[in-house]
Structure 1
């Protein structure tokens, strides 16, 4: 009997120790990265975006082009204390890589480094703080690129929440001409890949998502100028773009959206300009007519763009079924040029993997432009959409998927058709 008691004691102690070993450190208690905005240095193809590494789906993956170095970054939304990082490598793994953190997405601190990785599933105990966390591969383990099924960051949030400095939104504040933050503007000195650009940004300290505005056929920056200060005053850095020529087609406008996003990020990284350190690496886009078609092209072809608002979009013979990023289609009931039934609705229906919102309002093709339509409502919806999807600020979600949404949706003089994939 004594021997049995001793054996039971040993087994009990062993199980206790095994349980203790299996339990993650206190700082590793919460999975912080899943569903958060992710960006990367490159993607191998449209079907392997950065977002696939933080979507919680073990069957989707991020993969890079076949060169060194490459990186994948996740924005946690606020500063966190990190305890553990788990890398689920596909066969194309990193032999040498660093795990790094940053408060601004520009200056990085290394919290783990190896030159002898063998791939597979790697669970790394780390100790550090930051809002942005990236895996920075410096040497590939195969001739291919870098590929992760999942990039999981564990820890505890200890910084300011998404939208810090932005008060709780209300219907009245969202429908006002300007939001709570003071803004300023400057002209892009040397536009690269597009015709002209004016940046509107919050003057308050902080790092914000970027949004590109693209006009339609024969349009100028004035077409969507109404939206720039609204977005900026709610915590976005906005570049309002003029095209290379007034007749540029939608695909060209998509390339110009990408070029403007690239330059906006570069300005955010460069010292000595008004938005240094203000752009956090997450991008969205709004476009009208052919510019709306351009937004769809950017969402399809450029994984840095994480959400888009095509308004009265126009692009014949286009296939956007592979777009997986959140998309808000705003169309005009009496549009003779780009009626929703012709373009936006078929695209909406084909995008089976995307979160979507579709709102049709009274008016003709010009209804989203400056001086037309109900800008109080349109502004509220667009600000709420980007706040939810680019900043992970769920305080704005009810205006898209809650009682405030219902008040708009059921107002037949305001909305003639509403579809969504709520709850977001």
Structure 2
């Protein structure tokens, strides 16, 4: 369910520290009380967990456990990028959420990646699908625009109080995917990057320090995996938490429409590294096997972050 709001209420930033402290205290008490539930006891271990314990069904579902609202950000109201749409969980009872900015590809607009907004937000993220300044912008520009969008989200948006500014990630399709690599290279504090059938003339990403899941497609003739996603993955540091997922029977445009495999592993990656939620490690390690929708999956397990 998605509800339209032009000016969503925001949880004051000043309450964030009190909320985290309260969660930690409650979790410590729960761990000491006989019969306390596992979810209660885990609060002290990871105050960033959001939502119920995941299952294969829950990460493959079209919607997660959170009701979602959205708000439009006009291009005229921002600088550094072209505006977009923010999707966010309606509840404030769980405290703040991590945030993800998503960029479209060459000649595309946010409508090409719009399905990711409510899908990811319903799993417990604030998601910003953006338009770029022009549809012709190159990956390096799209990377800067992704960072500008995150800065707007955390500093000036009407949902800033719902966001933990230390838990941010980037995604993108095609040149937007190349842009997400540029953003991760530029801002090493990002917690996760998910480039989707990424295109970029740069092949060396050894300076990236952000856990990165690259998604390629076996039928991609625009950004063939042999000259894009695979060398991107291989160039990432060996010590980095990284993965390469190649979609079977898919083309360059696969991320432009709802895709269960993309969603399943993107949600798991973002949860694992933005929220440090090790409940999702089970979907990433051991490495997923080839199957009807996957040609191959490479990665390092267990994850170190």
What band does the TM-score fall into relative to the shorter chain? 0.7 to 0.9
Query: How far apart, CA to CA, are the structure 2 residues paired with 1:158 and 1:283?
Result: 20
Matches of residues 208-247 of structure 1 in structure 2 within 5 Å? 208-247=97-136
The alignment partner of 2:99 has SS state of strand
Higher helix share: 2
Alpha-carbon offset, residue 107 of structure 1: 6.0
Kindly tell me: are residues 416 and 170 of structure 1, through their superposed partners in 2, closer, same or farther at Cα, counting changes over 3 Å? Answer: same
Match of 2:290 among 410, 413, 416: 410
Q: What is aligned with 1:422?
A: 301
CA shift for structure 1 position 165: 5.0
Which 4+ stretches in 1 moved above 3 angstroms?
103-109, 128-132, 156-165
1:104 touches 1:280 (CA, 8 Å); kept in 2? no
Q: How does 1:17-416 map to 2 (within 5 A)?
A: 106=14, 129=21, 159=44, 161-189=46-74, 190-205=77-92, 206-267=95-156, 273=158, 275-281=159-165, 282-352=167-237, 353-362=239-248, 363-370=250-257, 375-402=259-286, 406=288, 409-411=289-291, 413-416=292-295
* CA apart distance, 1:161: 4.0
Please state which structure has a larger fraction of its residues in strand: 1
| Residue 382 of structure 1: how far off its partner (Å) | 0.5
Which TM-score applies when normalising by structure 2? 0.81
CA contact (8 A) 1:162 1:393 kept: no
- Stretches of structure 1 that go unaligned for 5 or more consecutive residues are 1-102, 110-127, 133-155
Q: TM-score, normalized by length of structure 1?
A: 0.59
Query: CA 1:174 to 1:381, structure 2 compared with 1: closer, same or farther past 3 Å?
Result: same
Whole-Å Cα distance in 1 between the matches of residues 22 and 128 of structure 2? 27
Deviations 1:132-171 (A, max 9, x none): 9xxxxxxxxxxxxxxxxxxxxxxx9865844555011111
In structure 2, runs of 5+ residues without a counterpart are 1-10, 25-40
Distance 1:357 1:222 in 2: 27
Aligned residues: 268
Secondary structure (helix, strand or coil) at the match of 2:161 reads coil
2:198 touches 2:229 (CA, 8 Å); kept in 1?
Answer: yes
Does the aligned pair in 2 maintain the 1:183–1:202 contact within 8 Å? yes
Decide whether aligned partners of structure 1 residues 184 and 249 sit closer, same or farther in structure 2, where only a CA change above 3 A counts.
same
**Structure-1 separation of matches of 2:234 and 2:127:** 29
